[in-house]
Amino acid sequence: MKPPTSREKVYALLFDHTPISVPEISRITGMNYKYVFQVVRTLRKENYLTVVPGGKLMILDRKGLIFRWAKDKEIILNSLSPVTMRLIPDYDLRDLVLFSGNSALWLLGRVISPAGGILYASERTFKELMKFRDPEGYPFKVYIYDDFYFKIRKELNGYYIPGWGVILADMLVQGTYTRLFDDVFETVVSTIEGEKNEGGLSSRRI
pLDDT tens digits for range 124-173: 999 999 999 999 999 999 999 999 999 999 999 999 999 999 999 999 99
Cα–Cα dist 83/65, whole Å:
29
Q: Find the farthest-apart pair of alpha carbons in the chain and give their distance in angstroms, rounded.
A: 55
Is the domain of 24 the same as that of 82? no
Residue 202 lies in a domain: no
Question: Over the stretch 64-122, which tens digit does the pLDDT of each residue have?
Answer: 999 999 999 999 999 999 999 999 999 889 999 999 999 999 999 999 999 999 999 99
Regarding whether 99 and 2 lie in a shared domain, the answer is no
Do 103 and 180 lie in one domain? The reply is yes
Q: Residue 53 pLDDT more than 60?
A: yes
Range of 112's domain? Answer: 77-184
Element (H, E) at 42: helix 33-45
Same domain assignment for residues 39 and 129: no
Residue 168 and residue 85 share a domain: yes
**Residue 101: inside a domain:** yes
CATH number reported for the structural domain that contains residue 29 in this entry: 1.10.10.10
Residue 203 CA: distances (Å) to CA of 20, 36, 91, 137, 162? 7, 15, 27, 36, 14
Contact predicate 96/79, CB 8 Å: no
pLDDT at 205 over 50: no
Same domain, 43 and 108: no
Query: What is the predicted pLDDT for the residue at 199?
Result: 64
The domain total for the chain is: 2
- Rounded Cα distance, 125 and 203, in Å: 25
Give the pLDDT band (50/70/90) at residue 203: very low
| Residue 52 sits in the same domain as residue 106 | no
**Distance (Å, rounded) from C-alpha 147 to C-alpha 169?**
18
